[in-house]
């Protein structure tokens, strides 16, 4: 047996993301969600802690909140760029969504910009797009899974796209997140807690989950009152059963 290391193409590399946000609840949510989608994650509560992390590790991507006490996210990314670090991709998160705010972020040196509140699934897609742009090798996840067949329709997790013979079927961000979570574990029951996490909810939010399920059924079922694919398991949650 050869002692040579495996070729790079044979190694599943989990990209390392540094999450910087002073909101502890959101920080925990991002760590959990990104980890579930195949990333290694380090978290920092502010710019000073982020700088300490950067002295000891080299992440593949930084997800950075703009509005933090003390040094802001804009200040941090601007300082990194002025200091010669032009390679680290930076995705800014902010509650300020005006065009001038986005422009300020890009002028400071950010690579992408996502306004709060955001869909966690969109964050994952944007993170992966930035990493592909710089040539990072990503470990396979549900986003790399093949299409899921739902009768006459087909869902592509990679693109978050549902299509039938007539063309794309419009899905909201919440519907994409829900269908992706279900498609990741076909024929397995997902609890309300798991679905709440996929939808970026802090609490299960029973009514909100039921509304999302009802809306999604209208788009994937011929008769949403007699579902073939998205089933309720009383007292336990929901299950997706793909098929023709």
CATH code, domain carrying 44: 3.40.50.2300
CATH of the domain at 218: 1.10.10.10
Do residue 100 and residue 30 come from a single domain?
A: yes
In a domain? residue 5: no
Reading the block at residue 193, the tokens are 């807690």
Residue where a domain terminates, one of 101, 133, 165: 133
Report the pLDDT value the prediction gives residue 48, as an integer from 0 to 100.
Answer: 95
Report the pLDDT value the prediction gives residue 63, as an integer from 0 to 100.
Answer: 97
Report the pLDDT value the prediction gives residue 233, as an integer from 0 to 100.
Answer: 94
Reading the block at residue 197, the tokens are 């996490």
Residue where a domain terminates, one of 103, 133, 163: 133
The C-alpha angle with vertex 89 and arms to 53 and 147, in degrees rounded to 5, equals: 115
> Is the full-model pTM beyond 0.75?
no
Do residue 21 and residue 67 come from a single domain?
A: yes
Strand pairing report for 167-169 and 161-164 = antiparallel
Do residue 151 and residue 217 come from a single domain?
A: yes
| Number of domains observed in the structure of the chain | 2
Report the pLDDT value the prediction gives residue 129, as an integer from 0 to 100.
Answer: 86
In a domain? residue 138: no
Do residue 122 and residue 51 come from a single domain?
A: yes
In a domain? residue 233: yes
Range of 235's domain?
145-240
- pLDDT values of the chain reduced to their tens digit, one per residue, 244 residues: 333 333 333 333 478 999 999 999 899 889 988 887 888 899 999 999 999 999 998 899 999 999 999 999 999 999 999 987 788 999 999 887 677 888 888 899 999 999 888 888 788 888 988 888 876 655 555 555 578 899 999 998 767 789 999 999 998 878 888 898 888 888 999 998 888 877 767 665 678 888 889 999 999 999 999 999 999 999 899 999 998 7
Residue where a domain terminates, one of 85, 104, 133: 133
């Amino acid at each position: 047996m050869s002692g040579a290391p495996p070729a790079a193409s044979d190694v599943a590399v989990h990209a390392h993301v540094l999450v910087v946000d002073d909101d502890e609840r959101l920080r925990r949510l991002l760590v959990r969600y990104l980890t579930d989608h195949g990333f290694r994650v380090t978290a920092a509560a502010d710019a000073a802690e982020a700088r300490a992390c950067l002295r000891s590790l080299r992440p593949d991507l930084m997800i950075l909140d703009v509005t933090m006490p003390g040094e802001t996210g804009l200040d941090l990314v601007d300082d990194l760029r002025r200091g010669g670090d032009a390679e680290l991709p930076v995705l800014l998160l902010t509650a300020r969504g005006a065009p001038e705010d986005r422009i300020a972020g890009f002028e400071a040196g950010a690579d992408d910009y996502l306004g709060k509140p955001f869909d966690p699934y969109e964050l994952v897609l944007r993170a992966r797009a930035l990493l592909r742009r710089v040539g990072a090798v990503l470990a396979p996840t549900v986003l790399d899974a093949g299409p899921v067949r739902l009768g006459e329709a087909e869902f592509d997790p990679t693109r978050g796209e549902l299509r039938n013979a007539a063309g794309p079927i419009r899905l909201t961000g919440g519907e994409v997140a829900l269908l992706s979570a279900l498609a990741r574990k076909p024929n397995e029951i997902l609890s309300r807690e798991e679905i709440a996490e996929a939808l970026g909810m802090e609490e299960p939010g029973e009514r909100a989950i039921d509304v999302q399920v009802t809306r999604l059924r209208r788009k994937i079922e011929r008769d949403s009152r007699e579902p073939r694919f998205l089933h309720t398991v009383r007292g336990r949650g929901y299950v997706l059963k793909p098929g023709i």
